Amino acid sequence: MRITVFGATGGTGRPLVEQALSAGHEVVAFARDPGDVDETHDELAVVVGDAYTGGNVAEAVAGADAVISVLGQTSDGPDRLLTVAGGHVLDAMAAQGVDRYVTLVGAGVRTPSDTVSLGGKVMGTALKLLAGEVLEDAKAHVEEVRDSDVRWTVIRAPRLTDGIHTGEYRHGDLSLGVRDSISRADVADFALYCVEESAYVHELPLVAD
């Protein structure tokens, strides 16, 4: 399988690229600076570009069987990073005929069917106060994805850590609290699982340790 990874040089993207290559996939790592890609592998290609401006996004997507976006949001990053970059990726996928898309947002993005614990409500309130613009960007990105014609999965993760890759975590309809977390390496594992198994198509699973 040929997998294009956006956010390939970030905290979740690095283990995702490594795990995908270890699993025998071809990987296209999209990066603004090729020097930030640590991996070297016969099945790894690096495309230099900028997802926020759309530069070379179509080149990265061409020929892919699936696209995974683990772009990281920060309070001091570009405005509407996920929405703007996601729009470029989805447009490129439509133009190139690629229809499998997995993207990552925070667990603060809720759905009507979620079971929200008291701790989760506290967390949600804190997010609105401390990172409201980031949360609104994630919500807008999710709506953009849901309105698209691709076979999408939106992974929702709580606090990310630099813990080890365990491959052992919960996913699906979870009730999360303020203490829930998951390692970036395990989020990468779950994203790869969703692609390999065609799991959670048109769903927004939560994932946590």
Q: Which domain holds residue 93?
A: 2-208
DSSP character at residue 73: P
Percent of the chain having pLDDT more than 90?
80
Judge whether residue 122 has pLDDT over 50.
Answer: no
Tokens of residue 82, six digits: 């996920």
Q: Is the dihedral of CA 157, 158, 160, 166 positive or negative?
A: negative
More confident residue, 150 or 112: 150
> Do residues 29 and 202 touch, judged by C-beta distance below 8 A?
no
Q: How confident is the model at residue 129 (pLDDT cuts 50, 70, 90)?
A: very low
What phi, psi does 121 have (nearest 5°)? Answer: -65, -40
Judge whether residue 120 has pLDDT over 60.
Answer: no
Kindly report the CATH number assigned to the domain that includes residue 174: 3.40.50.720
What mean pLDDT is reported for the chain?
A: 91
Tokens of residue 9, six digits: 């040089």
Q: Is the dihedral of CA 34, 38, 40, 41 positive or negative?
A: negative
Residue 72 pLDDT: 87
* Distance between CA atoms of residues 158 and 35, nearest Å: 29
Residue 114 pLDDT: 59
> Do residues 67 and 3 touch, judged by C-beta distance below 8 A?
yes
- Residue 33 CB: number of other CB atoms within 10 A? 9
Q: What is the pTM of this model?
A: 0.91
Strand, helix or coil for residue 89: helix
Residue 111 pLDDT: 86
Number of folded domains that form the chain: 1
Phi-psi region of 202 (alpha: psi -120 to 50; beta: other; left: phi over 0): left
Tokens of residue 97, six digits: 């005929």
Q: How many Cα neighbours within 13 Å face the side chain of 8?
A: 32
Residue 99 pLDDT: 97
Percent of the chain having pLDDT more than 70?
89
Residue 163, C-beta contacts closer than 8 angstroms, at least 6 positions apart:
182, 183, 184, 185, 186
Rounded mean pLDDT of 166-187? 94
Strand, helix or coil for residue 84: helix
Rounded mean pLDDT of 88-102? 98
Give the orientation angle of helix 13-22 with respect to helix 184-196, to 10 degrees: 50
